[in-house]
Amino acid sequence: MSATDNKPAKPKASWVNLLVDYGPLLVFFLAYRHFKPAGGDAGLAEVVAVTKGTAAFMLATVLALIISKLRLGRISPMLWLSTVLILGFGTLTVLLGDPFWIQVKPTAIYLLFAVVLFAGLARGKAMLRYLLEAAFDGLSDEGWLKLSRNWACFFLFLAVLNEVLRHFFNTENGNFEVWLQAKLWGVTSLSFLFTFAQIPMLLKHGLAVDAEPEAETTSPHD
């Protein structure tokens, strides 16, 4: 029996990563659609639906944290930070009945991550490696630095994008669902495309071919 045969099988975590990263947002969307009544005062109806959807979002986020611990054996610092901010802004949304807080939450998360990554780059450290607690087999230090730089810039772009969407689509004009759909389908798709676009650079800087699926599904998120 070879040494390779003695190595423990690496857990297939791709689907778990996707569930943990995007499951809570999908729950938010479905809960909002479920609780939003047809007709009536659109503004008031949306506020009620957003409040209930936010409560479901918070619960799903906590469950995602537990799933990450049970299935992956770890909870990354990035997931901890995201969860704390989601619970904080979510609590303000529920208690105050003001959807502003849950809409501005992504902006706060994106800016926080961007600041952390840029601060690390200023000191020559790839903070993304520590935030994700990921070890992409073979990826060089230079590769990690470039990946941190690219994600820091992308986070700034997402922060600006969210503020633009939040300004034009909110409960005051009855278009909160437009913002939520853009967040779920648009921003998530952009994040996937951006993640996949990094693969050639990562492979160039030593990422092992068998580690590519993990790199595609292990990415920063809010």
Residue 98 included in any domain: yes
pLDDT of residue 8: 40
Could you say which residues of the chain have pLDDT below 50?
1-12
Rounded Cα distance, 94 and 69, in Å? 27
pTM, to two decimals: 0.86
> What pLDDT sits at residue 2?
39
Q: Are 72 and 13 in contact (CB under 8 A)?
A: yes
* Enclosing domain of residue 122: 3-217
Whether 130 is in a domain gets the answer yes
Note whether residue 116 is domain-resident. yes
> Is 69 inside a domain boundary?
yes
Report pLDDT for 68: 85
Among residues 4, 30, 14, the alpha carbon closest in space to that of 216 is found at 14
Residue 82, C-beta contacts closer than 8 angstroms, at least 6 positions apart? 61, 109, 221, 222
Whether residue 222 lies inside any domain: the answer is no
Q: Which residues, 6 or more positions from 151, have their beta carbon under 8 angstroms from its beta carbon? A: 113, 117, 128, 220
Q: How many domains does the chain have?
A: 1
pLDDT, position 221 = 67
Question: Could you give the C-alpha distances from 103 to 13, 71, 94, 121, in angstroms and in order?
Answer: 30, 30, 13, 29
pLDDT at 11: 43
- What pLDDT score was predicted for residue 138? 82
pLDDT score at 14: 66
Number of C-beta neighbours around residue 82 at 10 A:
24
User: What tens digit of pLDDT does each residue of 101-128 get?
Assistant: 999 999 999 999 999 999 999 999 999 9
